[in-house]
Amino acid sequence: MAQRAFNLPNMLTYARILAVPLVVLCFFLEGHLKSSDFARWSALVIFLLASITDYFDGYLARAWQQTSNIGKMLDPIADKLLVATCLLLLAADTDRHAGIAGWSLWAAIIILCREILVSGLREYLAALKVSVPVTQLAKWKTTIQMVAIAFLLAGPAGDKIFPLTTQTGLVLLWIAALVTLYTGYDYFRAGLKHIMDE
């Protein structure tokens, strides 16, 4: 069991979880919430490295036949922790008017609420021994979310190189929110059949 817990795919998942406090630390380098250009680029690099592990941990686990229960449990948790933390940081960072604010907060709220609702639904269905498979659209949703957050983390620092960095991130965030609504409804509809049967 210990050997499975510390195989390479699981180590990559652990690394993604450890990336969460590192991203937070980037925004607090000066002792308080402040997103200097250095903080933004540092957070972006950590986020991108963590996002890459999301692909490789699943790929290697399947390729090397090293899938494990702890990996199946922690992989989606790691994704949600990373996404939720970044969204909260970007919403809290109002210093340079480049975070998630105003109407864009609704997109972040939709994404966070969907993740909580689907997690609760999965937990309930797991107790009924029912598995809800991840759809291809849900995988695309995660990809769009990650790309949107990457643009938003770069934010004003990225705007100096590509002037539409922040705006691109916000547009992608809304696209992710709309796809999130659809996939959330899809999961709920699939789960509702099992709930009604009870």
Q: Are 41 and 154 in contact (CB under 8 A)?
A: yes
In angstroms, what CA-CA distances link 27 with 37, 54, 92?
10, 23, 10
Alpha-carbon distances of 77 from 14, 46, 81, 83, 189, rounded to whole Å:
10, 18, 6, 10, 22
Question: Please, are residues 82 and 19 in contact by the beta-carbon 8 Å criterion?
Answer: yes
Q: Rounded distance, CA 75 to CA 58, Å?
A: 8
- In this model, does residue 5 exceed pLDDT 70? no
Q: Is the pLDDT of residue 196 over 70?
A: no
CATH number of the domain to which 116 belongs: 1.20.120.1760
Residue 41 Cα to chain centre, angstroms:
18
Res. 79: pLDDT tops 80: yes
- Say if residue 3's pLDDT is above 60: no
pTM: 0.87
Say how many C-beta atoms besides its own lie within 10 A of residue 192's C-beta: 11
pLDDT tens, position by position, 130-152: 666 677 888 888 899 999 999 99
Question: What pLDDT score was predicted for residue 133?
Answer: 67
Who contacts 69 (Cβ-Cβ below 8 Å, separation ≥6)?
none
* Most confident stretch, 6-15, 17-26, 114-123: 17-26
pLDDT given at position 98: 62
**Range(s) of the domain holding residue 11:** 1-197
* Amino acid 9: pLDDT: 75
Give the containing element (helix H, strand E) for 5.
helix 2-5
* Number of structural domains the chain divides into: 1
3: which residues sit within 8 A by CB, 6+ positions away?
none
